[in-house]
């Protein structure tokens, strides 16, 4: 697959520096990187800082692997909006003769897709997706709803890019709120403020604005306009290496979409709405590196202190 948009000169320069210093490790596929210890230490420090801010929510911690049942992706409606971003998992089901042919093709770096069949699992496209069926399976929501901390999970987006901030596989630090419409809307607003403070404390000069998802195609542009008009999505952005600031956190209000799709009901019989917030841990890490330099030892002491980094 070919990269979708050309990187800016500053994005190209930043990626080259990240690879030269071993902060990231090239894999040969755009947007798929290994991470050096120095990068991971910052990423995990950001994760812990979000932990400490999230402690007030008293959320239940659940963790999910980076694959999702295909049926849940189908039920979610994701493919109607983001067909171009989804990754599905295929596997081999043949006999020894097929296996030998597949191995020969693979060994020659020739095509071997004809040997592969679709499985029951797909890559998780957003860390909140496994939460809805898991909560639906528990039965009706208790009176004040629930708050789930889904941790910092790897998610996949099929969008090869030379922009280091647009990875195909990255950690989304996700919290999901399910409950009455007012509760959910209020929670999202509280978190937007918390997020601004958190990033401001890190010297990242965050800005927040109404945003839209990268819906597919012409019809998608209408969906994006509608989403903006209803202010269903907010993003918080910081400078990384693009011409514009890059979104590092997003707040999504789904109204009754997921509750309806997955059959999440309230004990009270009232409407169930959901919202989620996702922090892009790699993007915040890149924001810190872009703002304060690639050498963590030279960062402002206040930023290191806030992150608990020596």
Using CB under 8 A as the binding rule, the residues of this chain from 196 to 255 that contact a second copy are 216-219
Residue 139 binding a second copy, by CB under 8 A: no
Query: d(Cα 62, Cα 277) in Å, to the nearest integer?
Result: 15
Please select the residue that binds a second copy; options are 13, 16, 99, 190, rule is CB under 8 A: 99
CB of 300 to a second copy, least distance (A): 25
* Chain residues 66-95 in contact with a second copy, contact rule CB under 8 A: 66-69, 71-74, 77, 79-80, 83-84, 86-95
Pick 188 or 254: Cβ nearer a second copy: 254
Q: Which of 267, 265, 158 is nearest to 216 (CA)?
A: 158
Residue 34 binding a second copy, by CB under 8 A: yes
> What are 213's two structure tokens?
């998802």
Pick 28 or 269: Cβ nearer a second copy: 28
Q: Which of 292, 252, 239 is nearest to 172 (CA)?
A: 252
Compute how many residues bind a second copy; rule: CB under 8 A.
Answer: 75
Query: d(Cα 72, Cα 70) in Å, to the nearest integer?
Result: 5
DSSP-derived letter for residue 242 is S
CB of 42 to a second copy, least distance (A): 12
Pick 103 or 207: Cβ nearer a second copy: 103
CB of 151 to a second copy, least distance (A): 8
What is the Cα Rg of the chain in Å?
21
CB of 172 to a second copy, least distance (A): 13
CB of 5 to a second copy, least distance (A): 16
Residue 133 binding a second copy, by CB under 8 A: yes
Query: d(Cα 1, Cα 160) in Å, to the nearest integer?
Result: 7
Burial string for 133-156 (b: 16+ CB within 10 Å, else e) reads: bebbeeeebeeebbbbbbbbbbbb
Please select the residue that binds a second copy; options are 14, 42, 126, 168, rule is CB under 8 A: 168
The answer to whether 263 and 178 have CB atoms below 8 angstroms apart is: no
The answer to whether 238 and 291 have CB atoms below 8 angstroms apart is: yes
Please select the residue that binds a second copy; options are 6, 20, 55, 106, rule is CB under 8 A: 106
Pick 110 or 301: Cβ nearer a second copy: 110
Residue 16 binding a second copy, by CB under 8 A: no
DSSP-derived letter for residue 248 is E
Residue 52 binding a second copy, by CB under 8 A: no
Please select the residue that binds a second copy; options are 6, 13, 61, 210, rule is CB under 8 A: 61
Residue 160 binding a second copy, by CB under 8 A: yes
Residue 146 binding a second copy, by CB under 8 A: no
How far is CA 264 from each of CA 127, 256, 260, rounded to the nearest angstrom?
A: 18, 9, 7
> What are 29's two structure tokens?
């596929």
Please select the residue that binds a second copy; options are 15, 121, 141, 266, rule is CB under 8 A: 121
Separation of CA 155 from chain center:
6
Query: d(Cα 274, Cα 264) in Å, to the nearest integer?
Result: 10
Pick 59 or 196: Cβ nearer a second copy: 59
């Amino acid at each position: 697959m070919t990269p979708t948009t050309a990187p800016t000169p500053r994005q190209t320069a930043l990626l080259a520096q990240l690879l030269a210093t071993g902060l990231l490790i090239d894999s040969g596929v755009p947007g798929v990187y290994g991470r050096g210890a120095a990068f991971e230490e910052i990423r995990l420090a950001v994760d812990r800082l979000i932990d400490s801010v999230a402690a007030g929510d008293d959320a239940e911690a659940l963790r999910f692997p980076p694959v999702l049942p295909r049926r849940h992706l189908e039920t979610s409606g994701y493919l109607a909006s983001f067909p171009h971003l989804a990754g599905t998992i295929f596997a081999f089901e043949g006999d020894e003769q097929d296996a030998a042919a597949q191995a020969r093709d693979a060994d020659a770096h020739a095509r071997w897709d004809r040997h592969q069949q679709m499985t029951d699992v797909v890559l998780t496209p957003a860390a909140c997706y496994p939460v809805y069926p898991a909560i639906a399976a528990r039965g009706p929501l208790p009176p004040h709803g629930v708050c789930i901390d889904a941790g910092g999970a790897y998610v996949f987006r099929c969008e090869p890019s030379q922009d280091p901030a647009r990875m195909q596989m990255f950690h989304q630090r996700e919290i999901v709120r399910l409950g009455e419409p007012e509760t959910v809307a209020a929670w999202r607003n509280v978190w937007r403020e918390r997020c601004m403070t958190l990033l401001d404390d890190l010297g990242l000069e965050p800005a927040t604005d109404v945003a839209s998802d990268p819906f597919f195609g012409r019809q998608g542009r209408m969906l994006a306009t509608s989403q903006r008009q209803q202010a269903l999505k907010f993003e918080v952005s910081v400078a990384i290496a693009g011409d514009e600031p890059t979104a590092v956190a997003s707040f999504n209000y789904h109204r009754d979409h997921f509750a309806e799709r997955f059959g999440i009901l309230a004990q009270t019989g009232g409407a169930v709405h959901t919202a989620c917030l996702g922090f892009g841990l790699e993007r915040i890490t890149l924001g810190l590196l872009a703002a304060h330099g690639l050498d963590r030892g030279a960062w402002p002491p206040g930023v290191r202190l806030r992150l608990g980094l020596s």
